[in-house]
């Protein structure tokens, strides 16, 4: 994904293309700026920054849009002299894998958050739930013939009918793979790798199924609702073993150069107002109990869930991806 920079503040908005992950931002000596790293798409960032500027019109927000993996690579490369201030909406596994890249901040709305969605010492605060489901294109695969469980994905009859994102390149894809490994281990995971076609991004995966290029995929369930509203022939099937309670989160980058403005931005991004905006755009459920779920989503109390050890998934990430790459090379 190409990095892009969006600049907001004082009523102005602009978009500049950035050539590569290593491109440096201009020096920000003034105190009226803050830099937001965003893997959640420009539409969400635009809406949230516009709302933030209603509260803080004197703060200009530079937004860098890119994938989770790219942004973490960038943050790590910049760690001696950070350019970014806040990371929004990265998967919790990514934070747990690299906690030293961030620093704690007790957000203003701390009391509104269930503790399971707050990092140790307030290192991060949850944004939305990332519930993985199967999505079928009903023109290519009937509900009756579709897989009903995570274990079914390993059945040879689905060889060539499943498309997934490469877990080495996508945070959500690694979350899917982590769930599969924790449920069934490498014997089943290896068979799924053999059955599936792998693409470089989650977006290409769900677009391909929606457009009828592939039969089915694993995807965040909010995308199924969004695509169905747009008229695509798609349907969600929640696996019988359940879904993991994964979530995305916001945090302050360690050594943030605009720390006071970063705190203001984080307080807003963790607010009920910001979560309601996010729900309206992404169709994801907020982790905050005081924020209503998106219209059209299956009520959460009707979805079976299982305990997912995200700390284990983070700790084993490097080894898991090494094994995946070995299996992928044999396809």
pTM reported for the whole predicted model: 0.74
Quick one: pLDDT at residue 109?
97
The 10s digit of each residue's pLDDT in 207-240 is 999 999 999 999 999 899 889 999 999 999 999 9
Quick one: pLDDT at residue 14?
36
CA 232 to chain centre: 22
Instruction: Tell me the torsion sign for CA atoms 156, 160, 163, 167.
Output: positive
Map out the domains of the chain as residue ranges.
Answer: 4-128+247-282, 132-244+300-329
Whether the domain at 4-128+247-282 and the domain at 132-244+300-329 fall into the same CATH topology: yes
The 10s digit of each residue's pLDDT in 245-271 is 889 999 999 999 999 999 999 999 999
**For domain 132-244+300-329, which architecture applies?**
3-Layer(aba) Sandwich (3.40)
- Give the count of beta carbons closer than 10 Å to the beta carbon of residue 244: 23
- Give the count of beta carbons closer than 10 Å to the beta carbon of residue 212: 13
- Asked if pLDDT for residue 169 goes beyond 90, the answer is no
Note whether 104 and 253 are within 8 A (CB). no
Separation of alpha carbons 137 and 141, rounded Å: 6
The 10s digit of each residue's pLDDT in 94-130 is 899 899 999 999 999 999 999 999 999 999 999 999 8
CATH number of 4-128+247-282: 3.40.190.10
- Asked if pLDDT for residue 23 goes beyond 60, the answer is no
Quick one: pLDDT at residue 46?
97
* 152 band by pLDDT with thresholds 50, 70 and 90: very high
Quick one: pLDDT at residue 7?
53
- Give the count of beta carbons closer than 10 Å to the beta carbon of residue 194: 14
Mean pLDDT across the chain: 89
């Amino acid at each position: 994904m190409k990095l892009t920079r969006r600049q907001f503040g004082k009523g102005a908005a602009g978009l500049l293309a950035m050539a590569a992950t290593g491109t440096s931002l201009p020096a920000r000596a003034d105190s009226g700026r803050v830099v937001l790293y965003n893997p959640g798409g420009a539409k969400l960032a635009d809406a949230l920054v516009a709302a933030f500027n209603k509260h803080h019109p004197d703060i200009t927000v530079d937004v860098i849009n890119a994938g989770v993996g790219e942004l973490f690579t960038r943050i790590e490369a910049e760690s001696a002299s950070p350019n970014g201030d806040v990371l929004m909406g990265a998967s919790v596994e990514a934070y747990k894998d690299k906690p030293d890249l961030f620093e704690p901040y007790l957000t203003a709305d701390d009391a509104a958050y269930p503790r399971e969605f707050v990092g140790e010492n307030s290192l991060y605060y949850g944004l939305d739930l990332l519930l993985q489901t199967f999505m079928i294109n009903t023109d290519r695969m009937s509900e009756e013939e579709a897989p009903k469980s995570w274990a079914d994905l390993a059945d040879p009859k689905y060889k060539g009918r499943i498309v997934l994102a490469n877990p080495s390149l996508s945070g959500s894809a690694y979350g899917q793979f982590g769930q599969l490994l924790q449920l069934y281990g490498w014997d089943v995971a290896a068979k799924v790798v053999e059955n599936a076609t792998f693409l470089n991004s989650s977006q290409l995966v769900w677009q391909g199924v929606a457009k009828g290029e592939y039969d089915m995929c694993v995807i965040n369930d909010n995308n199924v609702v969004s695509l169905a509203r747009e008229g695509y022939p798609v349907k969600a099937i929640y696996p019988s073993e359940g879904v993991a309670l994964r979530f995305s989160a916001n945090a302050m980058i360690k050594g943030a150069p605009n720390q006071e403005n970063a705190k203001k931005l984080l307080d807003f991004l963790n607010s009920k107002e910001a979560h309601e905006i996010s729900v309206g755009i992404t169709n994801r459920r907020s982790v905050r109990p005081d924020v209503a779920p998106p219209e059209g989503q299956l009520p959460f109390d009707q979805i079976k869930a299982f305990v997912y050890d995200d700390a284990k998934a983070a700790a084993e990430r490097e080894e898991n991806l090494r094994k995946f790459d070995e299996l992928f090379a044999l396809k």
